[in-house]
Amino acid sequence: MPKQANFSRIFESYRPLPGAFDECFDADGRVRSEAARVIELLEGLGRKEFRARQRLADSTFLKGGITFSVYSDDRGSERIFPFDLIPRIIPAAEWKRLRSGLEQRIRALNAFLADVYTDQRILEEKIVPRDLVLGAKGYTPQVKGILPPGGIYVHIAGIDLIRGPDGEFVMLEDNARTPSGVSYVIENRMVMKKVFPRVFAQSHVAGVEGYPIQLRQALDSVGPAPDGEGATVVLTPGPYNSAYFEHSFLARRMGVSLVEGRDLFVENDRVYAKTPLGPRRIDVIYRRIDDPFLDPEAFRKDSQLGVPGLIRAYAKGNVALANAVGNGVADDKGIYPFVPDMIRFYLSEEPILGQVPTYVCDRPDDLSYVLEHVGDLVIKAVNEAGGYGMLIGPQASRRERADFRERVRANPRNYIAQPRIELSTCPTWTHKGVGPRRVDLRPYVVTGRDTWVLPGGLTRVALVEGSYVVNSSQGGGSKDTWVIEESWR
C-alpha cells in the first residue's frame, strides 16, 4: 500500500516521551483514533513537501506582518511567532466538557469579583482568607463599589490548561486582565488553510474566525448607551508594545478604531476621541493597557499611556472598560487555589475540571513543606507572567534553588508552589525530524450578555527539547488547535 510507504516518512521514528501523555500517539506508539486521519494525510505529503510547506507558512507570516515586537531591540524589530504545522487535535466530546468547565469557571470568577468589590460575602464567610484578597497586588480599592455595566468583569479570559500523564486536562492559570494570543489562533488557522488546503478540506475542524464578531457583540452589549451613539474602540499602548499586532488585528477585524491614550480625553466625566472634525464620544473601550497605566489620575502618575480622568468616567458609568478594572485579584496565583471553593460557594456546583495541587506559601504549613522540597516543586511568583519569576525545581541549579528559598522565606505571600506536571506532548517538526514537544492550551472565553468559548484556543509548544516553558518570550511557538467535529469520526 502506498499510504503505508508514505507513513514511514514523517512520523516513522516518532517516539512519545515516557511518562508524558502524547496528544497523537498512545503509550505503545499507536496513532490515537482522533488523530489518525490527520496524521495519515500529513504522511501522504512526504518529508520534502512538508518542509516546503513549513517554509511557505513562515513566509506567509512574515509577509502578512504577523509578528510580535521585540522589547530588547531598540529599533523596534519584529519577529514571527514560531509556528509548527502539525496540529493539536481535540475530539468534540472532550471539548464539550472543557467548554462547560471553562464557562463555569468564568461565572465563578465574575461572581467573585462582583462580591469582592461590593459586599465581600466570601470574605465574611471565610471561604477565602481576607488578608490574602485585600493584600493581593491586583486588589484595587479605587473601584470598590463601582458596578460595571451588566455586572460583568471578565469579558475576555484566557485560561491556561495543561494535560497531565493521565490524559486529564487541568486548569493551570487564569488570565482575567489582558490575555493575549487570540490573533495567532486566527492567523494560524488562515495559514493552515493556505498551506494544507486538502488536509483541511477532509477534516471537520470547528471554525475560529467568529471570534472578532463575538467580541464585538460582547463589547457593544456592555456599553452604557446601547443605541450605538458612542463608539467602541481598542486601546493600545502603541506600536512598540509586543502585542501590537494583536491590538491592530482585533480592531481591524471588529471594524473599530484602534486608539492610543493620547487620542482620548475626558471632559465632564465623558470620554472622547480626537478626530479631525472634533471630539467623538466613546462608550466602550477594549483596553490592552494594564490597570496601573490606565489613568494617571487614579493610578501611576508617571503613566504616559493612559487617559487622565478615565476612572472618573468609568465610576460614573459613562464608559465601559473591558476587562474591568481590578480583575488582577481574581487571576492572582495566590487566589487560584481557592477557585474550586468559589465555584461551590457562588454556583453551588462541583468544579467540572480539576486543577493543580498548590501550596500557598502564606500558610505556615505549606511554607515549611515548600522550603524543604524546593527541588521537587515549581515555584511561581504570584504576580509574574510570561514564564518569568518562576523556578522549576527539578531542573534548577543548587544556587538557583538556594536563591529562591531565600526569596520565598523573605516574602511568602508572593509565592506559590506546585508539583511539576509532566505536560503532555505533541509531535512537532524539528531540524532533526519530528519529535515530542510539550504543549499547553489557552482557550479564550468571551462574555457579554452570554458567554462564548472559542473552539480550541492557542496551543503553545516548548520548542526546545526537554523544556517545559511554552512562552513565546522564552523559546515557545504555537500550533493550530483543531476541535474535530463528532460527525467526522
**Contact flag: residue 235 with other proteins (CB under 8 A):** no
Amino acid 282 reads I
**Contact flag: residue 217 with other proteins (CB under 8 A):** no
DSSP string, 290-327: -HHHH-TTTS-TT-SSS-TTHHHHHHTTSSEEESPTTG
The phi, psi pair for 112, rounded to 5°, reads -60, -45
- In this chain, which stretch among 146-154, 162-170, 230-238, 353-361 interacts with other proteins, using CB under 8 A? 230-238
> Directed axis angle between helix 182-195 and helix 211-221, to 10°?
150
**Contact flag: residue 190 with other proteins (CB under 8 A):** no
What is the CA angle 63-67-70, rounded to 5?
A: 135
- Choice from 262, 409, 449, 489 touching other proteins (CB under 8 A): 262
Taking alpha carbons only, the member of 462, 470, 479, 483 closest to residue 85 is 479
Nearer to other proteins, 263 or 297 (CB): 263
Question: Which helix (H) or strand (E) segment is 436 a member of?
Answer: strand 433-442
* Grid cell listed for 312: 472618573
How far apart CA 103 and CA 21 sit, in angstroms, is 25
Enumerate residues 6+ apart whose C-beta is below 8 A from 127. Answer: 338, 341, 342, 345
**Contact flag: residue 90 with other proteins (CB under 8 A):** no
Ranges within 385-404 binding other proteins (CB under 8 A): none
**Contact flag: residue 81 with other proteins (CB under 8 A):** no
How far apart CA 227 and CA 130 sit, in angstroms, is 41
- Choice from 272, 359, 429, 482 touching other proteins (CB under 8 A): 272
**Contact flag: residue 77 with other proteins (CB under 8 A):** no
**Contact flag: residue 251 with other proteins (CB under 8 A):** yes
Cell numbers 481591524 correspond to what residue?
A: 252
**Residues 448 and 155: beta-carbon distance below 8 Å:** yes
- Choice from 68, 211, 249, 345 touching other proteins (CB under 8 A): 249
How far apart CA 184 and CA 181 sit, in angstroms, is 5
**Contact flag: residue 279 with other proteins (CB under 8 A):** yes
User: What's the Cα-to-Cα distance from 431 to each of 57, 168, 247, rounded to whole Å?
Assistant: 16, 30, 33
- In this chain, which stretch among 50-58, 258-266, 342-350, 475-483 interacts with other proteins, using CB under 8 A? 258-266
Nearer to other proteins, 260 or 480 (CB): 260
**Contact flag: residue 317 with other proteins (CB under 8 A):** no
- Choice from 54, 203, 217, 248 touching other proteins (CB under 8 A): 248
- In this chain, which stretch among 163-171, 233-241, 377-385, 390-398 interacts with other proteins, using CB under 8 A? 233-241
- Choice from 54, 120, 257, 473 touching other proteins (CB under 8 A): 257
**Contact flag: residue 3 with other proteins (CB under 8 A):** no
How far apart CA 465 and CA 208 sit, in angstroms, is 30
* Grid cell listed for 64: 502578512
- Choice from 86, 154, 233, 356 touching other proteins (CB under 8 A): 233
- In this chain, which stretch among 197-205, 263-271, 381-389, 476-484 interacts with other proteins, using CB under 8 A? 263-271
Cell numbers 503613566 correspond to what residue?
A: 303
CA 433 to chain centre: 29
> Directed axis angle between helix 244-254 and helix 182-195, to 10°?
80
**Contact flag: residue 134 with other proteins (CB under 8 A):** no
**Residues 114 and 147: beta-carbon distance below 8 Å:** yes
How far apart CA 186 and CA 197 sit, in angstroms, is 16
**Residues 61 and 67: beta-carbon distance below 8 Å:** yes
**Contact flag: residue 207 with other proteins (CB under 8 A):** no
Nearer to other proteins, 257 or 430 (CB): 257
- Choice from 151, 197, 226, 228 touching other proteins (CB under 8 A): 228
**Contact flag: residue 286 with other proteins (CB under 8 A):** no
Smallest distance, other proteins to C-beta of residue 108, A? 33
**Contact flag: residue 193 with other proteins (CB under 8 A):** no
**Contact flag: residue 258 with other proteins (CB under 8 A):** yes
Question: Which 8-state DSSP code applies to residue 16?
Answer: P
Assign 177 to helix, strand or coil: coil
Nearer to other proteins, 66 or 391 (CB): 66
Pair type for strands 257-260 and 231-236: parallel
Assign 38 to helix, strand or coil: helix
Ranges within 16-75 binding other proteins (CB under 8 A): 62-65
**Contact flag: residue 230 with other proteins (CB under 8 A):** yes
Smallest distance, other proteins to C-beta of residue 292, A? 23
Give how many residues touch other proteins by CB under 8 A.
37
Smallest distance, other proteins to C-beta of residue 243, A? 14
- In this chain, which stretch among 17-25, 42-50, 249-257, 297-305 interacts with other proteins, using CB under 8 A? 249-257
Q: CA 132, 136, 142, 143 torsion: positive or negative?
A: negative
**Contact flag: residue 308 with other proteins (CB under 8 A):** no
- In this chain, which stretch among 272-280, 335-343, 370-378, 477-485 interacts with other proteins, using CB under 8 A? 272-280
Question: Which helix (H) or strand (E) segment is 159 a member of?
Answer: strand 156-163
Smallest distance, other proteins to C-beta of residue 227, A? 11
**Contact flag: residue 289 with other proteins (CB under 8 A):** no
**Contact flag: residue 270 with other proteins (CB under 8 A):** yes
Site residues (CB under 8 A) for other proteins? 62-65, 228-234, 239, 248-249, 251-252, 256-260, 262-263, 265, 267-268, 270, 272-281
